[in-house]
Amino acid sequence: MEAKTSVSTNRPIKNNNKVINAEILMDLRNDRTRAYVLIELHPGKEKEFCDQILSRGLLVDSKVQRTDFVHGPFDFVMILYGAMEDIDARIMEMRKSSCVRKTETLICFEMFDWEDIRDRVNERS
């Protein structure tokens, strides 16, 4: 019997003629959420914003992977990684700043990494 594929997380994955359900591979990894936060500041507020994020400890925060000052439609790009609740808290804290004109956020959920897949396949073999 051939496995049916669908768009859901129950989509079978084939490996060495075995069908492995993606749900088996995926634990809901709440600690594997990545957010790309694009921050546009009010003109002339760059230094004040930098002072604010330094005083709040956001540059040494374990959930902040990287912060870049960029040229383009946004002034800063901050990459956050961790639990969704922690990421939400940091985003809301940034949005409270009087320097921030607007933010846009792209949130990605890491379903599994290659080590997880290998380990799960080996367990099922």
Q: What is the structure's pLDDT at 25?
A: 45
Q: Read off the pLDDT of residues 20-51 as tens digits, 9 standing for 90 and up.
A: 555 544 444 556 788 899 999 999 998 999 89
Reported as a single tens digit per residue, the pLDDT across 68-105 is 888 889 999 999 888 888 888 888 888 888 999 999 99
Task: Give the model's pLDDT for residue 58.
Answer: 76
CB 81 within 8 A of CB 27: no
Pick from 72, 74, 90, 92: which is nearest to 82 by CA? 90
Query: Domains plus CATH for the chain?
Result: 12-27+114-124 (no CATH), 33-109 (3.30.70.920)
The phi-psi region of residue 56 (left if phi > 0; otherwise alpha if psi is between -120 and 50; otherwise beta) is: alpha
The angle formed by the CA atoms of residues 49, 54 and 56, to the nearest 5 degrees, is 95
* Mean pLDDT in residue range 57-64: 79
